[in-house]
Amino acid sequence: MEERKVLCLVVDDEEKVRDVMARVLSGEGFECRKAASGRDAVALLNSEPFDLAVLDIQMPEMDGTKLLAEIRLRWPETGVVMVTAVSDVRTAVACLTHGALDYVAKPFEIDEVRARVRQALEKRRLIRENRDYQLHLEERVQQQAARIEELFVLGVHSLVQALEAKDRYTRGHSARVAVYAEEIARQLGLDDETLAEIRLGGELHDIGKIGVREGVLQKPGPLTEDEYLHVMEHPVLGERILAPLLKDHPIVVSIVRSHHERLDGAGLPDHLQGEAIALVARIASVADAFDAITTGRPYMRSRPPEEALAELRRCVGWQFDADCVEGFARAYPDVSLLPIPTPDVVALRQASLRRS
């Protein structure tokens, strides 16, 4: 395939200068068009793409500096070389700061024109290559960021699997809490990015239980006070595990640490009160409690969804946030349709569970 010739536009109001410049450039193997004014040049630029424009500075109506500005704005791929009288060299130099690649002073030598034009085209090539490099670099950075995110998700899933291996209850529980919390947040009008963070926070809220003794997690009867306090260390342990991995996900870390806080300050680990507890943690607390109430454990009878919702409402104001509880109620207006979950129920992500 034959390589396309460099297309040049010569703009000068003096016919002899135009012709000489065009002959010089044609002798270099370039294809040339000629324009006697800035307006004629704009018309030609509108008709086809030029690699290079050689512009005289002193022209009536639209001079070279104005035409340069127009070219840089509308046809930035076109390189520009200014042609100027010796007395206007300062103006030509100023044009360099506004995007011209080089300039030639009148009266010019043919060899100088050839050298300046070749140099300008080389500058144009380097500028375009650098720009393309920057664009491709951004693409590579985005690809790497996507891969890092992918690896992070895989790492998170590994953590969840490790926890599930210790505590069958947590498997279904974490999945359901993630769904419930996301639906509450949607009812409260939170944006999609925050919804995704809350969903991830729900999935990971109990991850600190990896550090809880299996004998305590699997104990068939009620916990002693010391055992209960040991279990309740899991929000802090979870934060310690995830904080280095989730520096860009503070919402998730907040949920993990604070989902057992209570409005009256009697919660753990920080005894926060009221709005000092992040909204996302208040949302997760409601989702967590609902699932805990409706999930049977060896030492605790599961209760129907209607009773669980009534319990949440009973505890509004001192344990749970009223808006979060009512957000849950709006998300599931017929709460009786929610199945009584078992540790193996993980299908609550399906659309059938969502509000119709």
What mean pLDDT do residues 294-308 have? 82
Give the pLDDT band (50/70/90) at residue 348.
very low
pLDDT, the chain, mean? 85
- Under CATH, to which class is 167-353 assigned? mainly alpha
Q: Distances from the Cα of 112 to the Cαs of 25, 103, 281, in angstroms?
A: 12, 10, 72
| Residue range 45-69, pLDDT digits in tens | 999 999 999 999 888 889 898 999 9
Phi, then psi, of 33 in degrees rounded to 5: -125, 150
Mean pLDDT throughout 316-320? 96
Two tokens, residue 103: 């300039």
pTM exceeding 0.85: no
Q: Which of 121-125, 227-231, 308-312, 343-347 has the lowest mean pLDDT?
A: 343-347
Higher pLDDT, 354 or 174: 174
Write the CA distances from 334 to 230, 239, 292, 306, 327, integer angstroms.
37, 35, 19, 9, 13
Does residue 82 have a pLDDT over 60? yes
The residues spanned by each domain of the chain are: 7-136, 167-353
Tell me if 7-136 shares its fold with 167-353. Answer: no
Q: Which CATH number fits domain 7-136: 3.40.50.2300, 3.30.460.20, 3.10.450.50, 3.30.390.10?
A: 3.40.50.2300
- Please answer whether residues 39 and 66 qualify as being in contact, where contact means their C-beta atoms are separated by less than 8 angstroms: no
